[in-house]
Copies of this chain bind each other. A is one copy, B any other.
Amino acid sequence: MPGSDDQQTPSVPPAFVRTRPPGDEHERDVCTRCGYVAYQNPKVVAGSVASSPDGLILLCRRAIEPAAGLWTLPAGYMEMGETVEEAARREAREEAGAELELERVLAVYSVPHIGQVQVMFRARLSNPEDIVPGPESLALQLVKWEDVPWPELAFPSVVWALRAWHEVRGRSDFAPFANPPEGL
């Protein structure tokens, strides 16, 4: 919410009700003060399983909620004006100072209850010597598959993506993974 440093943005908060705008098939959040229809659409998360030339996987320890303190893959919400590939590279740069070469789409996951579509790439980490935690990361690690901290992974889709990555290691002739049966 904007602060008092901006003359043009008052402090009266919006007051949304759930109602179906005329001509719409779905109920939307409509502001009772100004009539604004706040369309909610699923958001795109772009991320990657990035490995170093010697096969170590980049993991980031989250500095922010949800799941602060747990390990995740570099990933985050796509912004307007960028491609999904640019978003995946930007997130790795912001969270880990990592430069990625995206190889291909590894998986497309849906998380309907929070309105997310996650496009996960398989990527090569170009600068394993130079990675450094960004503001949203407490720490980074480059781990061997055998050393993945499974009990400390942040989200189910992190588990899915790592498992998918391992299953098709060394192959390029696979269809992108979707949610596993237990994730639907």
Contacts and interface: CB of A to CB of B under 8 A. Distances in A.
Nearest to A122: B175
B10 A32 contact: yes
Contact of A38 (B9, B13, B38): B38
Main secondary structure of the interface of A (DSSP, over half): loop
Interface string A2-35: 1101101111111101010110001000111111
Contacts of A175: 104-105, 172
Interface in A155-184: 172-176, 178-179, 184
Given A12-B35, A38-B38, 9 more contacts: A9-B19, A9-B31, A9-B32, A14-B31, A41-B41, A80-B115, A84-B108, A104-B175, A105-B176
